[in-house]
């Protein structure tokens, strides 16, 4: 039998998109506290998602203990698969258990050392690193189609088959004629009870009540044409442009791109129970009433 052909496995060229976890400090204690602050109320944000650790934002000469950083990310349920480093960092960054990978930034940043452009691009959406595996198993960076990874859709008890199929469809990418990635909108036309959760890889539209203890999560926008009393988490993979719209705001938790607010911090009385849109201004959640008449 030819060594190149076997019924048991196959090595093929391919590429996988991951989120970039961009490190800005070598203080692991500070990183741990900030990760806990951001995600303790929303542990499913990056549950089992793969990430590439990006070290290029560290100052010249700074080093971080890679094994400790990997362990820290695993504690918040991220799955590091590689390290993106500058030429000066490659020797020490590649000495750990993770391979060095190349980053092809999707926001058009030509020079990763240009911190001004990098900071301006932060508001445009999440950076991604592309790990491309060639036939020889080595890391490369070919111009090939990418398979986007993300949290899987959670089946919702009590929802019909059509809704479940719609949730699965929400995780499928379709390339339009202009090359843009189109993520289908998931529509849920039944009330969500306590303990139920819906995840959409695009926008999410809910036509029924989101009860206390229920959770709606989307990588895009969330529209709720009924009272929101549970949790709503939009832009969960770092989409700062995502928004939440609802006709009656009474939430347990509101979050956009990891910036969240719970009932422990009371909402302004002029938005509670009202039609509202929620959006981000820098790292602050803004609540604005909507005029529906």
Q: What is the pLDDT of residue 260?
A: 85
pLDDT score at 96: 82
Please tell me whether residues 237 and 262 are part of one structural domain.
Answer: yes
SS3 196: coil
**In this predicted structure, what is the pLDDT of residue 244?**
96
Q: Are residues 204 and 165 in the same domain?
A: yes
88 shares its domain with 143: yes
Contact status, residue 227 vs residue 250, Cβ threshold 8 Å:
yes
Under-50 pLDDT residues of the chain: 1, 106-179
Residue 176 sits in which domain range?
A: 161-289
The pLDDT of residue 261: 87
Shared-domain flag, residues 143 and 44:
yes
pTM of the model as a whole: 0.47
Give the CATH number, domain containing residue 278.
2.160.20.70
CA 170/CA 166 separation, integer angstroms: 6
- The residues, ordered by sequence, that sit 6+ positions from 94 with a Cβ below 8 Å of its Cβ are 83, 85, 100
Quick one: how far is CA 286 from the chain centroid?
A: 21
SS3 39: helix
Query: In this predicted structure, what is the pLDDT of residue 162?
Result: 36
> So what's the pLDDT on residue 1?
47
pLDDT of residue 174: 36
Return all residues near 83 (Cβ < 8 A) that are at least 6 apart.
Answer: 52, 53, 55, 66, 93, 94, 96, 98, 99, 100, 101
pLDDT value of residue 265: 80
**What domain count does the chain have?**
2
- Based on the fold, state whether residues 128 and 196 are members of the same structural domain: no
Last residue of a domain, one of 148, 183, 213: 148
Indicate the residue among 148, 172, 199 that finishes a domain: 148
């Amino acid at each position: 039998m030819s060594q190149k052909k076997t019924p048991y496995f196959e090595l093929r060229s391919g590429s996988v998109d991951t989120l970039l976890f961009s490190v800005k400090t070598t203080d692991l204690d500070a990183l741990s506290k900030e990760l806990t602050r951001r995600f303790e109320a929303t542990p499913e944000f990056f549950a089992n998602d793969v990430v590439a650790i990006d070290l290029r934002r560290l100052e010249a000469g700074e080093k971080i203990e890679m094994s400790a950083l990997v362990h820290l990310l695993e504690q918040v349920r991220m799955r590091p698969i590689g390290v993106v480093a500058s030429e000066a960092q490659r020797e020490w960054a590649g000495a750990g258990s993770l391979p060095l990978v190349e980053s092809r930034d999707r926001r058009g940043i030509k020079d990763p050392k240009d911190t001004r452009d990098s900071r301006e691009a932060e508001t445009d959406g999440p950076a991604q690193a592309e790990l491309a595996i060639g036939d020889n198993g080595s890391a490369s960076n070919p111009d090939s189609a990418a398979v986007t990874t993300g949290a899987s859709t959670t089946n919702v008890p009590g929802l019909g088959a059509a809704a479940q199929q719609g949730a699965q469809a929400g995780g499928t990418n379709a390339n339009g004629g202009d090359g843009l990635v189109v993520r289908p909108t998931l529509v849920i036309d039944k009330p969500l009870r306590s303990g139920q959760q819906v995840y959409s890889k695009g926008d999410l539209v809910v036509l029924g009540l989101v009860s206390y203890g229920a959770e709606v999560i989307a990588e895009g926008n969330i529209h709720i044409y009924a009272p929101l009393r549970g949790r709503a988490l939009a832009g969960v993979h770092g989409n700062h442009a995502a928004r939440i719209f609802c006709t009656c705001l009474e939430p347990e938790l509101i979050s956009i791109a990891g910036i969240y607010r719970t009932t422990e911090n009371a909402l302004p009385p002029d938005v509670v129970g009202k039609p509202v849109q929620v959006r981000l201004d820098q790292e602050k959640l803004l609540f604005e009433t909507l005029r529906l008449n």
